[in-house]
Structure 1
Amino acid sequence: MPASKTKQALTAERRKEMFRRRAAGESMEDIAASFGMSRSTLSKDFTRAYRAYIEEEKAEAEVWRKFQTDRYERLLAAVWPDALDGDVRANEQARKLVADLSDLNGWKAPVRAEVTGADGGPLSLTTASPDDLAALIAATSRLDEDQPDNSKTSTPDEEDEGDQG
């Protein structure tokens, strides 16, 4: 038997407050205590509420996708006869509408990508020692700077920690 409208409204209000306080950084323990429930009960309620929110968002996105699809299909129906009769402009419009429909609905075939080694040859897989990996990291860690200093790694070491204070 579904909960009464009053209970549903109270639950919705509690969940709204729970999300607001959690987003503000309050701990789950503090929030649970303020509602007079255990942390695990609050966690389950939080998860349940968040899953419902995600499902609502998916449903709303699907409605808008369907709405846009219907609009594109009406436009396509309007230009289709002229496109079939050889009207170059109508043909281009039809092609663009079909492409937009494909993008919107994910109808395009996946793009095939191939990773190759040097000069299009096979990839060469080798093992590396920890020292080799450290040298590779050091050589590439600062390449986003104008004057890369390849002798440093992207993580601070003991020397760097003293310079930060």
Structure 2
Amino acid sequence: MPRPTRAQRAAIAQRRADAVELRLAGADPLTVGRKLAADPALNSDRIAYPFGYGHELYSKGRPGPDDETLVRSVNRDVTQALEHRLAAAQADVEALRALEDARLDRLYLVAYRRAVRDGELQAIDRALRIMDRRARLLGLDQPARTEISGHDGGPIEIMADTTGDELAALIALTDPAAARDEA
């Protein structure tokens, strides 16, 4: 199959965008497929949607796709369009992160010079705040480790011989709704 032309790719991108918009508006995949079908006999508006679903069949005079194929095509288009939007958004986030990092560089240079040259405590604090902001922006800090322990830092004691009644009583102490359900 030959590669689509630029105009065909634009028409397919438009179909995908229309499919996403229709799905966001609450239309089910079959309704979307029929609305964006190339064959006027399938199209709910009775028009030939440019490069619509089944365009390759319609252009050859063959019957359009069945309902199952329409649904699969719509779902594939919506998935691809959303993946494309997500990739574009990620690129935007990365560009913005780089811009913010460059801004922090400029601010840090001023604070650092004052901190080192004059020994200004306020400039030192400002430089540290900028460093902290950069670490959060770029994810440089490792997550804090959380450890749960028992009395005086020892192990948590678990009693294996706890009966069902004792367990129900413990649950009732912490969840009054569960206690009402048991009764």
TM-score computed with the length of structure 1 as normaliser: 0.73
The amino acid of 1:46's aligned partner reads: V
**Deviations for 1:31-65, whole angstroms, at most 9, x for unmatched residues?**
12322342112212221111111111111001101
Measured at CA, do residues 64 and 132 of structure 1 come closer, stay the same or move farther in structure 2, by a change above 3 Å? farther
CA contact (8 A) 1:141 1:152 kept: no
Tell me, in whole angstroms, the C-alpha distance in 2 between the residues paired with 1:122 and 1:95. Answer: 38
Measured at CA, do residues 77 and 21 of structure 1 come closer, stay the same or move farther in structure 2, by a change above 3 Å? same
Counterpart of 2:143 in structure 1 is 110
**SS of residue matched to 1:152:** helix
Counterpart of 1:152 in structure 2 is 180
**Deviations for 1:88-133, whole angstroms, at most 9, x for unmatched residues?**
1211111111111111111112201102235533234567888877
Counterpart of 1:68 in structure 2 is 100
Counterpart of 1:30 in structure 2 is 31
Counterpart of 1:120 in structure 2 is 153
- Of 89, 108, 117, the residue aligned with 2:122 is 89
Measured at CA, do residues 72 and 138 of structure 1 come closer, stay the same or move farther in structure 2, by a change above 3 Å? same
The amino acid of 1:73's aligned partner reads: D
The amino acid of 1:31's aligned partner reads: V
Task: Name stretches of at least 5 consecutive residues in structure 1 with no aligned partner.
Answer: 143-148, 154-165
Task: Name stretches of at least 5 consecutive residues in structure 2 with no aligned partner.
Answer: 38-52, 54-68
Which structure: larger Rg?
A: 2
Greater relative contact order structure (CA < 8 Å, 6+ sep): 2
Taking only the aligned residue pairs, the percentage that are identical comes to 26
RMSD across aligned positions (CA): 2.9
**Deviations for 1:133-161, whole angstroms, at most 9, x for unmatched residues?**
7766655445xxxxxx55335xxxxxxxx
Tell me, in whole angstroms, the C-alpha distance in 2 between the residues paired with 1:111 and 1:81. Answer: 31
Measured at CA, do residues 31 and 81 of structure 1 come closer, stay the same or move farther in structure 2, by a change above 3 Å? same
TM-score computed with the length of structure 2 as normaliser: 0.67
